[in-house]
Structure 1
Amino acid sequence: MIKSFINYPGGKYRLLSQILPLFPLAYDNFVDMFVGSAVVSANIPLDVPIFAYDLDRKLIELLKFVQRVPAEYIIVNVEKLIEKYNLSDTGANGYHFYGLDSANGLSSVNKPGF
């Protein structure tokens, strides 16, 4: 299953194994009314048009940006920001490196750079 590229409140990644079997086997469109991190939309089993909605307009702008910009461009620039502001990089180092786990969060590590 595809994880989201952002950590979003109310994320449904851990629920996907329970949610996806409830979807019909065939449909013409997929409507995601509370898209959040788009993890459900990214994991629907069929190749159909997706209509994603959320009240958070900045979130929708971010999702549209990610949809139209090459992934490599985003990755390179995020890595530059991580380095520039000395932010945590759990993808490279894991939580152990910072003496934390995912339940504790990284705000104490990232606050000075942020």
Structure 2
Amino acid sequence: MRQERTEDQYLLIIDLEGLPPEHVEIRPFGRSLMVRTRVDARTHRSESFDDGRGYRESYRISTGSRTRRLPVPPDGDLARLERVDSEQQVRVTIPRAAAQAAPSWR
């Protein structure tokens, strides 16, 4: 996850690393952003016995999530937040309300 700042906007870039974009939830929470990622892993294994008298199947399902809260500088306009998804990343832009000096977004 990277955070960048330009003269007119703040940018949050989340590299997906194989995670589907719909498993990344981003929403304003007060003067911050809540970023939640959800991971679902499912495996299926099937094997036959060597003597040909049957087979065994196993399934494994695991889920997990991670939440991170990122403060947004005072000049960030959360009402105009925009999100763009691609296969590689989620990009969130937050326009700056005015071209004024703001604290670092880290």
Judge same fold: TM > 0.5, yes or no.
Answer: no
Range into which the TM-score falls when normalised by the shorter chain: under 0.3
Larger strand fraction of residues: 2
| TM-score relative to the length of structure 2 | 0.22
Instruction: Normalising by structure 1, report the TM-score.
Output: 0.21
| Max Rg structure | 2
